[in-house]
Amino acid sequence: MAKQRVLTGITTTGTPHLGNYVGAIRPSIAASRDHSMDSFFFLADYHALIKCQDPQLVRQSSKEIAATWLALGLDTDNALFYRQSDIPEITELTWILCCSAAKGLMNRAHAYKAAVQVNEEAGEDPDFGLTMGLFSYPVLMAADILMFNAHQIPVGRDQVQHVEMARDIAQRFNHNFADVFTLPQAAVDDNVAVLQGTDGRKMSKSYNNTIPLFQTEKQLRKSINKIKTNLLEPGEPKDPDGSTVFQLWSAFASRVEIERMRGEFENGIAWGEVKKQLFELVNGELADARERYNELMDDPGHVESVLLRGAERAREYSVPLIGKVRDAVGISRMG
């Protein structure tokens, strides 16, 4: 049997934080080393344009995300690592898919519906301020996935609907034209923690409660010290299960260390002491990678060359595939 193809994209808006690391980056790095499947990881910079109109931010974020993944040891000999915008076949496929994707399907996309609802509640025109980019977002994402005939798409819950739409779009195309596309499936890993941020809500850029992955050691210590706790004094037993600090601890510690800390909570360990140990643990896991990250950020030419090599390899798949798609829809040379 052919190897399973696993593909996922990272939208290049923002700086990677601990939540991204635990939820997506760390498992992906592990997968990149697994020779029993073919992994595809890419910087979704065309997706970034939907949310972000600041060129400097898009550029900076692409660089930070690429450097982060490489610094953490992404195996780019085994896995493919590329930038969406280096694969022109993806945008070409997006248009072709636009012409067979149902508009009614796009009307049901959560992101679009949520934006419409905000407008309606504000008494505005339903489409006020909305772009075609936002509306067509699921088609671009379908092109990302279908271009490489990926089977498994590891995503967060919020993206499952988009993968299902990609599947729908593929089915419709296969039925109308030719059997070109593999039907993809979302893979949501419930064992991966969704980290809380410093204020106890889900760690997210939009809540401004993130702990950046590669801030300096000093800043990391500061961020950890800022995590919200309760007012229980040293010596008073604390509930580990409601605690953001304990949750973070659990995302980095071994099973034995998690149990030990649970005991410490029951014995009334001081918050200052837990945070000190948490800093040591997180910093221990990240320190070497942070150094490599800083080196890579100072050597963008190297990062660029890795991405270009990834694009070259990716185009070995995308060029023949777009040929099949063009043929199927009747866009081809005469004679």
In the complex, which residues of this chain contact ligand TRP (CB under 6 A)?
A: 7-9, 11, 44, 47, 141, 144-145, 153, 155, 159
C-beta of 50 vs 227, nearer to ligand TRP: 50
State the minimum distance, in angstroms, from the CB of residue 149 to ligand TRP: 13
C-beta of 152 vs 198, nearer to ligand TRP: 152
Cβ-closest position to ligand TRP: 9
Q: How far apart are the first and last CA of the chain?
A: 37
**How many Å apart are CA 232 and CA 289, to the nearest integer?**
35
**How many Å apart are CA 255 and CA 218, to the nearest integer?**
27
C-beta of 169 vs 281, nearer to ligand TRP: 169
State the minimum distance, in angstroms, from the CB of residue 108 to ligand TRP: 16
C-beta of 145 vs 211, nearer to ligand TRP: 145
C-beta of 11 vs 223, nearer to ligand TRP: 11
State the minimum distance, in angstroms, from the CB of residue 6 to ligand TRP: 10
State the minimum distance, in angstroms, from the CB of residue 258 to ligand TRP: 28
Helices (H), the chain: 18-20, 26-32, 45-51, 55-71, 88-98, 103-107, 110-121, 132-146, 160-176, 217-226, 244-252, 255-266, 271-297, 300-329
SS3 category, 40: strand
At a CB cut-off of 8 Å and minimum separation 6, what does 238 contact? 230, 232, 265, 266, 268, 269, 271
State the minimum distance, in angstroms, from the CB of residue 14 to ligand TRP: 11
